[in-house]
Amino acid sequence: MTAKRVLIDANILLRFLRNDDPKQSPLAAKLFQRAQAKEVSLIASAITILEVFYVLSKTYRLPHTEAARILRTLLAMGIVFCEDGGVTLDALQRITKNTVSFGDAHLAALAARNQDVVASFDQDLRGFKDIQLYDLEREA
């Protein structure tokens, strides 16, 4: 029997990770226990992960590398899945190694996976040696 797929919102992840709400946090923890027991399969979109990353870094003032490490660990545990072929997990890894935004890291991870060229004015992307940047000046 296949576990029921449950798409989770950022607030579920945050209540589980922060354990800061007397009513919601235990309910989120129970859902994670059901996922660990393979009763349900928890799915988070890349946008949901981005939202949690943003809240952890802006609201809770965690350094980007720490917020990325927490989310990477969560996804690596095999309890929460992101159905993007590992792009979000790769993006979180890139954040821990470079000073970049989640959006830039996700763009670089997607480009690396698909061997696409990236057009951007953002100089931070030059730090990723596994992607090719579109030469805007030469191609103009």
Which pLDDT value is given to residue 99?
Answer: 81
* Burial of residue 53 (number of CB atoms within 10 Å: 0-12, 13-18, 19+): buried
Q: What is the pLDDT of residues 56-81, one digit of tens each?
A: 999 999 999 999 999 999 999 889 99
Band of pLDDT at residue 1, cut at 50, 70 and 90 = low
Q: What is the mean pLDDT of residues 5-24?
A: 97
Q: Read off the pLDDT of residues 20-31 as tens digits, 9 standing for 90 and up.
A: 999 999 999 999
Task: Identify the structural domains of the chain with CATH numbers, from first to last.
Answer: 4-114 (3.40.50)
